[in-house]
Amino acid sequence: MHLIWDEFLKIIKEEAGSQVVETWFKAVCLETWDATTHTVTLRVPNQFVSSWIQNHYLELLRTHLARLLHAPVLKFAFVCTTPSTPLQKARSIIPAAVLSDAEFVAPTASPQAAPLIVAPRTHIAAVDRSNGKERSTIALNENYRFDNFIVGPSNSLAHAAARAICTNLSSVYNPLFIYGGTGLGKTHLLHAIGNQVRAQNPDAVVRYETSDNFINDFINSIRFDRSQQFRNKYQKVDVVLFDDIQFLSNKEQTQEVFFHIFNVLYEQQKQIVLSSDTFPKEIAGLQSRLKSRMEWGLVADIQVPDTETKMAILRKKADYHTLNLPDDVAEFIAARVISNIRELEGALIRVSAFAALTNQKISIEMAKRVLLTLGEPKRESILLDTIIKIVAKHYDVAINDIRSKKRHQNIANVRQIAFYMMKKMSDCSLQAIGNYVGGRDHSTVIHAVTKVEKLLALDRTLCQKLGIIEQEILTS
Ligand code: ADP
Ligand code: MG
């Protein structure tokens, strides 16, 4: 039976995605197949999973299992591993608003419809259970501290706010919301806050959480009836650091629970710190009441670092690893990596590894050879500077406004034109362009580019104007 079930899981993975398999089907097993009554008995961990599968995936089950079992029709019997578990357990964690009663209909087939056999695949539940436990706490990374975080104009606000909350927990900015593009130091700052709070007060309870882990924990808590433990984790904390909150997007139920936990923490005056790749309002698929709560305290951005900050970061990292990094090599690397400090570190590691392996000192010639793939010096970054400057000049808008979060129609239109020109004229990735223009998401850039392309097909004047701008950029 389990071969058939494994085959079924493969199909579901392709049709509905691995998330659905991990969330709902992994802890289910096909117990028996009665060919005379055409009845398939599925063992599910609890009532909630049973109802959810019946309401959402019954057709998928029917179609594919019928084919795999060579059965013209199928009936289903769902047997709960914890049949006596009160539904209230699941309900207690999910506010009634998200789970309509329809989601709690009793199983359609009676559990007695098929005889029980010992579940052959209980190890799956056990593995998941232990995973759930292992993943439930994430340790703070002690390498991410304030003393090795380089401050420059691009991150000074976020850094100052992060430091300020450590000495005045929950009384200055609550929540503190830090946003910025990938690899710009959000996670570093969150851990630095946690480490600093602990250093000041070893008894403080700090909890670092990623959205991914939060979602998995939540799902496991439902699956294994551990909703109480799930909530308890947030009961005695002093500081909660939620990283990459944008991944809660479109996860309705998780957002409900998050909302509930947020409110409790806030009311109890616990410090909340959140990070995301975009401004709260721009996180698609997030409930507006959550977005507005995220803006209750301070929203601080991290922008792409300037060359000096990048060089300072490289020097700090080199010192830490006791590497002798000549200035011209630092400059060479900083000039080529535009918008991601992780890539900056990667380049340094490659050069230092090469130096160690070949027993040579780091030199500019070696860096050029090793980092051949980084391309021409700063061309892209200079080009983006030129494009934003010339677009701003032609439309008489300040560069800062284009980079800002202002949503005024005129500014938003000019920003979209800047995105379009950058996409057209540079080799930068959409994310790098988004990062450059105020830490925006790549989907915002795609949206803008598509919109301008449509306008260009209809508007000759715009076509001419953009032609002139392009010429000016090319000749500047
Ligand atoms: P994000 O969470 O924004 O994607 P991270 O915090 O993971 O980025 O940062 C990526 C890497 O860059 C980490 O190794 C981090 O230590 C380093 N980093 C980022 N910003 C700084 C900074 N200002 N000073 C020193 N290191 C930094
Ligand atoms: Mg991060």
Q: What is the DSSP annotation of 359-386?
A: T----HHHHHHHTGGG-SSSHHHHHHHH
CATH assignment at residue 417: 1.10.1750.10
Question: To test ligand 1's pocket by mutation, which of 191, 211, 341 has the most ligand atoms within 8 angstroms of CB?
Answer: 341
Tens digit of each residue's pLDDT (9 = 90 or more) over 16-61:
777 778 777 888 888 888 888 888 999 888 777 788 788 778 888 8
Stretch 276-291: mean pLDDT: 88
**Residue 107 pLDDT more than 50?**
no
In ligand 1, the atom with minimum distance to the C-alpha of 152 is 23
Stretch 78-84: mean pLDDT: 69
162 Cα to the center of ligand 2, angstroms: 15
Q: At 182, which helix (H) or strand (E)?
A: none
Tell me the pLDDT of the chain averaged across its residues. Answer: 80
Residues 284, 142 share a domain: yes
pLDDT band at 132 (very low <50, low <70, confident <90, very high): very low
Task: Give the structural domain span for 248.
Answer: 126-302
330 Cα to the center of ligand 1, angstroms: 17
pLDDT of residue 417: 97
Instruction: Decide which of 85, 118, 151 is a domain's last residue.
Output: 118
188 Cα to the center of ligand 1, angstroms: 5
Ligand nearest to the CA of 301: 1
Which range has highest mean pLDDT (48-57, 62-71, 264-273, 356-365)? 264-273
**Residue 77 pLDDT more than 60?**
yes
Residues 183, 132 share a domain: yes
Helix locations, 202-326, DSSP H? 211-223, 227-232, 252-267, 288-294, 307-320
Question: To test ligand 1's pocket by mutation, which of 311, 342, 348 has the most ligand atoms within 8 angstroms of CB?
Answer: 342
425 Cα to the center of ligand 1, angstroms: 29
Residues 21, 107 share a domain: yes
pLDDT of residue 314: 93
Ligand nearest to the CA of 141: 1
Q: Take atom 4 of ligand 1 and give the residue whose Cα is closest.
A: 183
Rg (CA), the chain: 27
Least confident of 189-193, 267-271, 341-345, 353-357: 353-357
185 Cα to the center of ligand 1, angstroms: 3
List the Cα angle 44/47/52 in 5-degree steps. 85
Residues 262, 152 share a domain: yes
Residues 283, 229 share a domain: yes
3-state helix, strand, coil in the chain (%, to 5): 60, 10, 30
Q: Take atom 5 of ligand 1 and give the residue whose Cα is closest.
A: 185
Residues 88, 157 share a domain: no
Peptide bond into 72 cis (omega under 30): no
* Among 247, 5, 238, residue whose Cα is nearest residue 120: 5
Q: Take atom 19 of ligand 1 and give the residue whose Cα is closest.
A: 185
**Residue 113 pLDDT more than 80?**
no
Residues 387, 239 share a domain: no
Residues 205, 79 share a domain: no
285 Cα to the center of ligand 1, angstroms: 27
Residues 406, 364 share a domain: no
Instruction: Decide which of 254, 280, 302 is a domain's last residue.
Output: 302
Tens digit of each residue's pLDDT (9 = 90 or more) over 172-188:
899 999 998 888 999 99
Which range has highest mean pLDDT (133-142, 184-193, 333-342, 463-472)? 184-193
In ligand 1, the atom with minimum distance to the C-alpha of 148 is 25
Residues 81, 35 share a domain: yes
Instruction: Decide which of 335, 355, 374 is a domain's last residue.
Output: 374
pLDDT of residue 102: 27
- Count of structural domains within the chain: 4
277 Cα to the center of ligand 1, angstroms: 13
Tens digit of each residue's pLDDT (9 = 90 or more) over 402-433:
988 888 899 999 999 999 999 988 878 888 88
**Residue 476 pLDDT more than 60?**
yes
pLDDT band at 192 (very low <50, low <70, confident <90, very high): very high
In ligand 1, the atom with minimum distance to the C-alpha of 149 is 24
C-alpha pair distances (Å), 101 with each of 52, 95, 96? 11, 12, 8
Q: Which residue has the tokens 């329809």?
A: 102
Question: To test ligand 1's pocket by mutation, which of 146, 147, 188 has the most ligand atoms within 8 angstroms of CB?
Answer: 188
pLDDT of residue 59: 80
**Residue 95 pLDDT more than 50?**
no
Give the integer Cα–Cα distance in Å for 470 and 424: 10
In ligand 1, the atom with minimum distance to the C-alpha of 191 is 6
48 Cα to the center of ligand 1, angstroms: 40
344 Cα to the center of ligand 1, angstroms: 10
Q: Tell if the pTM clears 0.85, that is, is over it.
A: no
User: Which residues lie with the beta carbon below 6 Å from any ligand 1 atom?
Assistant: 144, 148-150, 155, 180, 182-188, 313, 341-342, 345
